[in-house]
Amino acid sequence: MSKGLQSLLIVLVSIVLPTFVLLGISLASGGALSAGVALIIGAVFGLGYGLEAGLLRAYELSTSRGWVELIVDLTWSLPSTVFGFVVGNLTYAWFGSLSKKHSEGQGWIVFMPRPGSSFGRDVLQTLGTVNLGGAGNHEKIHLLQARIFGPLYLPFVGLSYVITFTLQVLWTITLGGLLALLGVRQKAYLRPPAHSAVGGFFGWIYYATPIELWAYGTEARHA
């Protein structure tokens, strides 16, 4: 299959599948989401995502894996894909530029950091199918997680952060704070391991979430 045809198919599939998914939601919800709104949202998102992914040829459609990734991202994992496309593009464009080299055939859209930007170089991030910094040590795991958990992924991540934030605060203002006052601990708050991409108070909140424990665990197994 030619690269030009792959790009065209990515655009067409990106328009059609999300539109059908949203129309299905409209039907299942009894019109809570009107069919007209579903069509507009599906078409606008699909065209934007399709053009970006298509021009970068992010999905290798000469393989079954590429088709599966594209179909999953635009159906089961659609909420994460939409979130990543909107928030990722709005955020990562400030720190980097789209990279065809790191996106083509890889099943995601990659921004590579500009010179002088630590975000995307020292700290990589993946939102849905949009990434800053490339594959790194475990960024592809977050992509896999979104595809596995589908519509449950974003709520699960949000709830995880709420729980770890609450635990961190409670520990810091109770036992952790007391131990720090007594000189038993250097810091009142819980700290992540040295290999965590984020340190300090918020580092443990980030590192202790299930998605990060899973992702960092894959690094340990391949070390």
Q: Could you tell me the sign of the dihedral formed by the alpha carbons of 119, 120, 123, 127, in that order? A: positive
Query: In this predicted model, what pLDDT tens digit does every residue of 151-165 receive, in sequence order?
Result: 999 999 999 999 999
Query: In this predicted model, what pLDDT tens digit does every residue of 116-149 receive, in sequence order?
Result: 888 888 889 999 999 999 988 899 999 999 999 9
d(CA 105, CA 100): 9
Residues 161 and 71 in one domain: no
Q: Which of 105, 136, 167 is the last residue of a domain?
A: 136
User: Tell me, what amino acid is at 107?
Assistant: G
Q: What is the pLDDT of residue 56?
A: 97
Give the model's confidence band at 221: pLDDT under 50 very low, under 70 low, under 90 confident, else very high. low
Q: Which of 136, 158, 188 is the last residue of a domain?
A: 136
Q: What is the pLDDT of residue 1?
A: 83
d(CA 108, CA 148): 15
Query: In this predicted model, what pLDDT tens digit does every residue of 49-100 receive, in sequence order?
Result: 999 999 999 999 999 999 999 999 999 999 999 999 999 999 999 999 999 9
Query: In this predicted model, what pLDDT tens digit does every residue of 15-57 receive, in sequence order?
Result: 999 999 999 999 988 878 888 999 999 999 999 999 999 999 9
Query: In this predicted model, what pLDDT tens digit does every residue of 197-211 receive, in sequence order?
Result: 899 999 999 999 999
Q: What is the pLDDT of residue 24?
A: 93
Task: Establish if 57 belongs to a structural domain.
Answer: yes
Residue count of the chain, please give it: 223
Query: What percentage of the chain reaches a pLDDT higher than 90?
Result: 85
Token output for 81: 């894909």
d(CA 148, CA 136): 20
d(CA 180, CA 185): 5
Residues 132 and 155 in one domain: no
d(CA 1, CA 30): 41
User: Tell me, what amino acid is at 129?
Assistant: T
Beta bridge partners, 109, equal: 130
Q: Which of 136, 161, 179 is the last residue of a domain?
A: 136
Task: Establish if 117 belongs to a structural domain.
Answer: yes
Task: Establish if 73 belongs to a structural domain.
Answer: yes
41: containing domain: 3-136
Query: Please, are residues 203 and 153 in contact by the beta-carbon 8 Å criterion?
Result: no
